[in-house]
A and B are shown apart, each in its own frame.
Chain A
Amino acid sequence: MAKIVLENLGHSYLADPKGEHDFALKPVNLTWQDGKTYALLGPSGCGKTTMLNIISGLVAPSHGRLLFDGKDVTNIPTSERNIAQVFQFPVIYSTKTVRQNLAFPLECRGVSPSRIRQRVAEVATLLDLDYALDMPARKLSADQKQLISLGRGLVREDVSAILLDEPLTVIDPQMKFMLRRKLREINRQTGVTMILVTHDQSEAMSFADEIVVMKDGLLQQSGTPEELFSRPQNDFVGYFIGSPPMNMINLDVRQGTLATDALSLTQPSPSESNALLYQLGIRPEHISLVDQTAENVGVGTIKKIEHLGVDGIVTLELAANVVIKAKTRKHTAMSVGTTMGINVCQDDALLYLDGRLAT
């Protein structure tokens, strides 16, 4: 177990990076507390896997330092970092049995055979793999193989962290859900730090205590799922977290205030700002649709209704051709073409200057 600190850590695959765009991972400062679950979230090619490989030591960072419990491990080889990694595709030692697979990390460290037997038995119970211990590992299903990968980390009581690199990609949807819950359970039971790389926001939201959102090698925002949802630091986080993404409505400067024809919400114009773009960000979940005659901050015509089981996504066209989406449970009572009143709490409408949340 260890507290992991990334100190100005960056990586470029080029020998001589010229500018920012040459970095696969732009220098970043982050602290990962011991025993928590974290998710690295971002679109493909955003530097998530690079960051993970730097932590595990498979990639040596070109810039900055990596600390485990205050100890500089930047140049320490993978084998001495005591990290476990679960890969996107199940990787197991196919010539070994499940028991031998689980025992291997301990054998590499010279643990006594009786202790190995005990630890393997404990971990197998934790993972519900007791019955399969003496089966050849290659005979198991994909999700069981991923559990073995996880188990190879768990058998080491002192494992610094378990890194999960999109481990649920090849798992069937039903098993995915169970495996995710299992991961959480194991984290609670063992207190081992887990870092999950994913591009699936619901996976990240349901798994992690804290989410790190990345894009183009740059850290966008790190915080609890609630923070990311309610106060996205920039338009990308607003877009990436939440489904459908945050509505962004352009604002005009009018006599010292920011306003739009679509909604009667105004924002005081920031005194010292030379931003080119002012936007109002509103989560679809924070928009309530009311009768046209009721008190409202704007009206819109329903263009489309999408049914998602309990919830529905209603697309509305407001004045000045502004199109927004709202998430509601009352969609079954609505129909395309009708005009609805829109209500938004002032606190839920966030001001963005050039795509960044105004403070």
Chain B
Amino acid sequence: MNKVYHTLKTIFLLGWSIFVVFPFLWALTTSFKDANAITSGATYIPWVDFEPSSQGWTSLFTTGSQGINIIGPFIDSAVVTLIASLVSLILGTLAAYGLSRFEYRLGFVKNSDITFFFISQRIMPPIVLAIPFFLMLKELGALDTIFGLVLVYIALLLPIAVWVMTDFFSGIPKELDEMAMTDGCSPIGAFFRVILPNSVPGLVVAGMFCLIFGWNDFFFAFTLTFTETQLLPVSIVSLNSSVTPWWSLSAFALISVAPLACVAVIVERYMSRGTMSGAIR
């Protein structure tokens, strides 16, 4: 019975892995094909099935009719995502700690209402927010700038950071703060010297979410920029013309996935390790 289960599990996981990895394999092979190889059906093995060409990759670093230079958008995307994620993570962590440890009351508004207020920012579909954001950035003169996008992304990412970190801090026993205070820390000292070092897994999860949502956002990057600033997702779409350059698109897609994949590999051990498990009990 156990052996049957084990075999079935292995088969299922193997099948699922292929299912997940396949698009990447497809993109990888396609990025090395030229127009002829692409139209001649599904082929996967270079030199045997098709003659590899580096055209897809080189076109991404040349300007003009042969392709577009993606280095600019890549840096823009990285700057916007990193700054917005960092600011959201810092503000969100501080807000979440306050919400999980202190009681606030403003008329009928209590802690849970404030938390809900943060999360409610993500209830509306992006299309509803696009016009107000557009008008506000226009007033600020921040349309089509990195600064404007950073502002918008902070507004989008902060709820995620607050939400994840509030949940995480609620799981850290209050006794840990109390102990730090009896040991001679001020409340803010307790946060920085004791709670924060214990919060690495939560920070990693919240940071991952911020990076993923920030990096992958297309809608706001598309509606709030024109020519001066262009983020990666938008420039991918702009590659598309009368003849779809599948080779360039594939290479581009792989490049834009790479940073998040690298981050995921690096932080994976923090996400799976229950660092808090020893703090209490």
Contacts and interface: CB of A to CB of B under 8 A. Distances in A.
B198 A94 contact: yes
A77 B186 CA distance: 8
A79 B193 CA distance: 14
A109 B180 CA distance: 12
Nearest to A104: B183
B175 interface: yes
B95 interface: no
B4 interface: no
Interface residues of A, number: 32
Contacts of B186: 77, 79
Interface string B183-200: 111100100011001100
A276 interface: no
Nearest to A93: B194
A79 B278 contact: no
Main secondary structure of the interface of B (DSSP, over half): helix
Contact of A89 (B183, B198, B277, B280): B280
Contacts, number: 80
A95 B179 contact: no
A85 B175 CA distance: 10
B171 to A, nearest CB: 13
A105 interface: yes
A90 B179 contact: no
A115 B119 CA distance: 49
B155 interface: no
Given A91-B176, A94-B198, A95-B198, A85 B278 contact: no
Interface in A52-80: 56-58, 77-80
B279 A94 contact: yes
Given A91-B173, A95-B197, A58 B181 contact: yes
A78 B280 CA distance: 21
A229 B124 CA distance: 68
B184 A94 contact: no
- Among A80, A82, A108, A152, chain B packs the most CB atoms within 10 A around the CB of A108
A91 B279 contact: yes
A204 B193 CA distance: 35
B104 to A, nearest CB: 15
A109 B186 CA distance: 11
Interface string B244-281: 00000000000000000000000000000001111111
B105 to A, nearest CB: 11
Contacts of A236: none
6 interchain residue pairs of minimum CB distance: A138-B278, A108-B184, A94-B279, A105-B183, A78-B181, A94-B278
Interface of B: 173, 175-176, 178-179, 181-186, 189, 193-194, 197-198, 275-281
Given A77-B181, A79-B185, A170-B281, 5 more contacts: A58-B178, A89-B173, A90-B280, A94-B198, A108-B185
